[in-house]
Amino acid sequence: MNTRLPVEHPVTECITGLDLVEQMIRVAAGEPLAFKQEDLKREGWAMECRINAEDPFRNFLPSTGRLVRYQPPAAVLEQGRETLQGEAYANGRFGGVRVDTGVYEGGEIPMFYDSMIAKLIVHGRDRGDAIAKMREALNGFVIRGISSNIPFQSALLAHPDFVSGNFNTGFIAQHYADGFRAEDVPHDDPLFLVALSVFVRRKTRERAAGISGQMAGHEVQLDSDYVAVVHQPKGQVLRHAVHVSEYAGKSGQATIRIAEREYRIECVSRLADIRLSGTVNGKPFFAQAERGTAKNPLAYRLNHNGLAIEVTVLSPRAAELHALMPYKAPPDTSKFLLSPMPGLLVQIAAQPGQTVQAGERLAVIEAMKMENILLAERDVKIAEVLAKTGESLSVDQPILRFE
């Protein structure tokens, strides 16, 4: 007998129409069940994703801090159900998008509790419909200030073996044995994100061009040709020539041409919104876009279906000059032991002058009810201890320096 309320109870509630919490309270009060097993009917397919404060690109280590932005998708999908979901909402029975959570925008995710911050539940006609709705719901789930496992959830939902149902409990060990990497996130049309970045840049320029009182001869000029510079790891870039044209005479619409591809984008969101909703070539979409990163304040960061890219949209002449800029390599941190996550430093297992062999313990960090042991990746000699036991560490804070 399992007398607790399972974490997955919303899935049962969606397909049966029962409120399990209500039934548990009634039973605890001595009331008999008002139904029999044969009265229960299962309708549709429900699915739940646990949204955790973890960094999937750092081996799912806990991520703590302030929720600078927290916008669950349920309300947006509910408001736009007819235009954004169409047939899926036609009968009203399988339109459920539900978020169970206890956090809020501006709140703190501390290191003392479990990493789960929300449960995202969808209800569809069948498994394929539920997967499609979950992917759109994840696209509309805005979390900033901490890392979350949403990119991994998106990659999982797009994996062919998961979609076909050909998986078991060894799925992660089979497909992500070496950890989860950015290149493990598939996307059926990466150029869509490039087109969307150009669309946002173009609309920003249109707004700037409409500001009154501009100095004569120095007004903001609107061009039709741009170059989208997609930033890659280690300073590499991909450059795409892009042409923009308006259509239908509406300010929220534009046609973006990249090579042989054409994207007719209509967006109903404001330029200041992180979450963008609209249609591309008549197909509804949710995506996320924001300007400025720590390394490049002029770039746009786009997220869709788990894939995140960084794009700088330039004029053709600016792109020529940008190509001449030298690459600034990041500082060498190979002589430091860095904290891979925020947490409490509970032990330093090495002292200055000590030689440590590969695989030996260096330090222990505690966060979210877990102890994380940091091991030496190679034979090293400790030169200096840079942190103290009992100190609260931030991500990438140096703990030890090697000779």
Active site residues: 4
Alpha-carbon gap, residue 289 to 39, rounded angstroms? 47
Alpha-carbon gap, residue 152 to 55, rounded angstroms? 9
Task: Tell me the angle at which helices 127-139 and 150-158 cross, rounded to the nearest 10 degrees.
Answer: 150
Decide: 123 and 130 in contact? Cβ < 8 Å: yes
Cα-only R_g, the chain: 25
Question: If you search the block for the tokens 């947006």, which residue do you land on?
Answer: 76
The candidate with the shortest Cα–Cα distance to 165, out of 41, 43, 304, 45, is: 45
The candidate with the shortest Cα–Cα distance to 71, out of 228, 264, 275, 251, is: 275
E-strand stretches of 92-159: 97-101, 108-109, 116-124, 142-144
Terminal-residue alpha carbon distance, the chain: 57
SS percent in the chain: helix, strand, coil, step 5: 25, 30, 40
| Six token digits for residue 274 | 């992180």
Element at 169 (helix H, strand E)? none
Residues in a beta bridge with 344: 366, 392
The candidate with the shortest Cα–Cα distance to 313, out of 264, 266, 244, 211, is: 244
